[in-house]
Structure 1
Amino acid sequence: MLNATLCGLVLSRGRYDFLYATSPPLFVGGAALALSLLRRIPMVFEVRDLWPESAVALGELRNPCFIRWATALEEACYRRARRIVAATRGIRDRLAQRGIPPEKLILIPNGANTDLFRPQPEAGRALRHELGLEGCFLVLYAGIHGVAQGLEVVLLAAQRLLQTPEVCFLFVGEGPCKADLTRMREELGLSNVTMLSAQPRERIPAYLSAADVALVPLRRLDLFKGAVPSKMFDAWACGCPVILTVDGEARWILEQAQAGLFVEPESPEALVEAIRFLSEHRDLCREYGANGRRFVERHYSRQVQAQRLVELLERLDKA
């Protein structure tokens, strides 16, 4: 945070109308707070996750002194900001519950870069050939392998589908749970699971185009009822339907889009049932994917979200 503040002081010698910061990481907000005060530049603060609240709920953050310090920094960022941009309705509503004035809160949801994330059928077929996954019903998880995702549930579902050879799983990414998940795959003898390291972002559309369905999982926590993972929009932008295990706001969006299935969080049995259903109804699966692409283009493209942000900044500039 100190380095970011010092760099900002050196680089921000011109005149700026606004300072825009996004969290997490919260320390970016801390650096922006310092610069905003020192340079007397109005600050707009984007919140994509309620940190440290989410880290405490997941058990990832336990030190009470650090929690108090991080919460105080978070609250200071909220007080200083002229406007707070919430990435989901759940975040907006939670901040309102914590006493942030409603007129200070603006909803600009996550979205997908539809220029980068688009259907790439030829690249998808080539990738399947390269990985030896031709002909199977391919279930993809691409993203961080962390505590919040509960990916051990996916491996338990894969174990139940070992006798269904037409279904295979592909994991792409890294994270704090990757080693444990790799070990679990070996212990369970999951020959239907392929695990790859993290890939460059520009390669992810090929993986999504190769997949028949993408997984968007989170653990069963009340906190996640206000979460809307951006990987859902990335998958839809590539014409790939999703199986979602996030109840609440994300489920509501999924049902509006008609672009996949919701299953109960942390239930291998429910996940198996959804995968089997989609593998047996591939026309419906493709229809879900096409619905997702149209829905993102209309409502959740980065272009749409950028225009909303420009309009917000213009209103603030005139105020």
Structure 2
Amino acid sequence: MTFLNVLFITLLNMENVDERGIYTDLVRELASRGINMHVVFPRERRTKLPTELTSIRNIKLLKVRTGNITKTSFIEKGLSTLTIDKQYLKAVKKYLKDVRFDLVIYSTPPITFVKVVNYLKKKHESKTYLLLKDIFPQNAVDIDLIKNRGFIWRYFRKKEKKLYQLSDKIGCMSKGNVNYILQHNSFIDKRNVEVFPNSIEPVEIRVNVNKEIYKKYHISEESTLFVYGGNLGKPQGINFILKVIENFHKVDSGHLLIVGSGTEYKKIEKHIHNAKPKNVSLHKNLPKKEYDKLLENADVGLIFLDKRFTIPNFPSRLTSYLEYSLPILAATDKNTDLKDILSEAESGLWSESEDIESFIDNAKLLSTNKELRTQLGLNGRKYLEAHYNIKETVNIIIKHL
């Protein structure tokens, strides 16, 4: 396959392609098959660095100077996201003009890669593959970020439809996502939509657990450690998380550790400062290696989603928890099929967001029943290896080359 060229377009920072994650693992796995990988990603203005093309092994990294997308205001992020399509297209034309791409892969968010995808499809007759990780603008409507059928909705809905039309194949995270997309977009040929789940290259199963890290975070070694890691924004249903914080003292031996960042981080920080719960702590995002070490020593992985969602969200942090054989405790809306996966895999417990009594009851059960935690964790690891191993799932994409 050494003659094949694949372009991967993303909003995520891919500077360190050897770092572990669903996208870096995908890129490395495709490259390991002899495919010439090209990755286009943002180099934000705050870095003060120019657009640049570098390479590592058979992976070329096109770092495009853009506006600030992360750790900035909502307005700047929005403007930067809207202009990134043109910036990517200009960079691709300049730095990759002599490469003919057999396949172009791109992920949502955002849905604004229309120009660059359309250009490559027409110029190179490239096949196009959308990794659908986010159904926008409907997810924003669900949590009242934008008005249903208002001007902003119509603008982005038009972009969304165009992106679907440009995509030869749409890879969804779950069956629930496939069903939703087909139900709400009758113009899409169902033969072009398939499940391509969030997948990783799993680390070896942990053998020796070292709880020295507990001291660093001021957690008793006798505690059952519940960890939430990831975004702390409106999609997570922050008001419910605040209720969890208020009620977590009812969980015998339990300690709740929240790690992440996002628009609602300050709100959580202020609540913890005022309430001063003894068994709850909050930390900013950690480096990947540090976070992995934390998960390696944790007891339960937490997932939160706002109860108002009508779309079947499927959080990527699930794979991280399964990788480290952590039982899952989830509180989500009713529409996600995450709860069905947990049931099928026998890897965790679920309750609907806002049902604080059910959530705390589940937390109590997991906190005091080590045998149950162990069994759920082992079940989850087996399910990960069978369904979310990138070495297997990558074939779903390769078959289209």
Give the letter aligned to residue 386 of structure 2. R
CA distance in 1, matches of 2:119, 2:138: 22
Residue of structure 2 in register with 1:42 after alignment = 127
Partner SS for 1:143? strand
Residue of structure 1 in register with 2:337 after alignment = 249
User: Aligned match of 1:2 in 86, 95, 98?
Assistant: 86
Deviation at 1:296, TM superposition (A): 0.4
CA distance in 2, matches of 1:83, 1:249: 22
CA distance in 1, matches of 2:141, 2:119: 25
Is 1:281 the equivalent of 2:365?
A: no
Is 1:189 the equivalent of 2:276?
A: yes
Residue of structure 1 in register with 2:388 after alignment = 300
Aligned residues: 310
- Mind listing any 5+ residue stretches in structure 1 that lack a counterpart? 315-319
Deviation at 1:40, TM superposition (A): 4.0
Identity %: 20
Contact 2:117 2:166 in 1 (8 A): no
Higher relative strand content: 2
Partner SS for 1:176? coil
User: Aligned match of 1:31 in 116, 119, 128?
Assistant: 116
Give the letter aligned to residue 215 of structure 2. H
CA distance in 1, matches of 2:174, 2:157: 20
Partner SS for 1:273? helix
Higher relative helix content: 1
Deviation at 1:230, TM superposition (A): 1.8
CA distance in 1, matches of 2:180, 2:112: 21
Partner SS for 2:106? strand
CA distance in 1, matches of 2:308, 2:108: 21
Deviation at 1:163, TM superposition (A): 5.6
Give the letter aligned to residue 159 of structure 1. E
Residue of structure 1 in register with 2:151 after alignment = 65
Partner SS for 1:161? helix
Deviates more, 1:160-169 or 1:289-298: 160-169
Is 1:199 the equivalent of 2:286?
A: yes
Compared with structure 1, are the counterparts of its residues 11 and 91 closer, same or farther at alpha carbon in structure 2 (3 Å cutoff)? farther
CA distance in 2, matches of 1:201, 1:27: 28
User: Aligned match of 1:147 in 234, 237, 253?
Assistant: 234
Residue of structure 2 in register with 1:51 after alignment = 136
Compared with structure 1, are the counterparts of its residues 42 and 95 closer, same or farther at alpha carbon in structure 2 (3 Å cutoff)? same
Is 1:212 the equivalent of 2:299?
A: yes
Partner SS for 2:255? strand
RMSD: 2.1
Larger RCO: Structure 1 or Structure 2 (Cα < 8 Å, ≥ 6 residues apart)?
Answer: 1
TM-score when normalising by structure 1: 0.90
Is 1:227 the equivalent of 2:319?
A: no
Is 1:110 the equivalent of 2:198?
A: yes
TM-score when normalising by structure 2: 0.72
Deviation at 1:50, TM superposition (A): 0.7
CA distance in 1, matches of 2:226, 2:314: 20
Is 1:11 the equivalent of 2:95?
A: yes
Deviates more, 1:231-240 or 1:10-19: 10-19
Give the letter aligned to residue 271 of structure 1. F
